[in-house]
Amino acid sequence: MLHGEWIPAAEKNSRRLLVMLHGLGDSLEGWRWLPEALDLPWLNFLLVNAPDEYFGGYSWFDYPGDMAPGILRSRKLLFELLDDLRAKNFPPEQITLAGFSQGCLMTMDAGLRYPHKLAGLVGISGWVFEIEKLLAELSPVAKQQRLLVTHGTFDPLLPFDEVRKQVQMLKSAGFKVAWREFPKAHTIHGETEISVIREFVRAGYSGIGK
């Protein structure tokens, strides 16, 4: 079971929810600023800790090394989390799954295999694990999912060109991907990037009742 922190929407009785997955060595504490920054009063937030301890923070899988077992385990845990939220009357179509770095990888890995349509998938400064395998294991609703992928042209950890190549593969496979590049390293490019995320998240709920 994954440990998370719930930050309720200012607007009462909202079922709209953003689930945020942190990067390697970080924790949910590193993302407590996000609700205020996005400034969407009708949006609940669930900030989630990865399952493995890692130098004072947490990780979703071993890195570097054999990543596959940890990714598979974390995917299962995220499926269980989304199913539990669904059982608590947070419908998948009102849930945005978002992640940074390792959290981005898990967002794409789990989100495109999860059998229910979500409000959106947001991948920040991350990558896709074994993209050919993922494309062979897509859920029946995968190509209906809304995708936003952002990356930094100066990212020293995950080369920009490699990630852009993966996004092109997703587009060629029939996905509608909103791809945004920023002059940044392995981080968030301030309000410029936040505003892009805000508008993508907002659009995912247009026409949906609270």
Mean pLDDT by 10 residues, the chain (210 residues): 96 96 98 98 98 97 95 98 98 98 98 98 98 98 98 98 98 97 98 98 79
Which DSSP letter does residue 174 get? T
Residue 46 half-sphere exposure, CB side, CA atoms within 13 Å? Answer: 20
Task: Quote the pLDDT of residue 210.
Answer: 44
Token pair belonging to 169: 């593969």
| Contacts for 150 with CB less than 8 Å, ≥ 6 apart | 122, 123, 124, 125, 179, 180, 181, 182, 189, 193, 196, 197
The single-letter code of the amino acid at 48 is V
Task: Quote the pLDDT of residue 208.
Answer: 59
Q: What is the pTM of this model?
A: 0.97
SS3 state of residue 94: helix
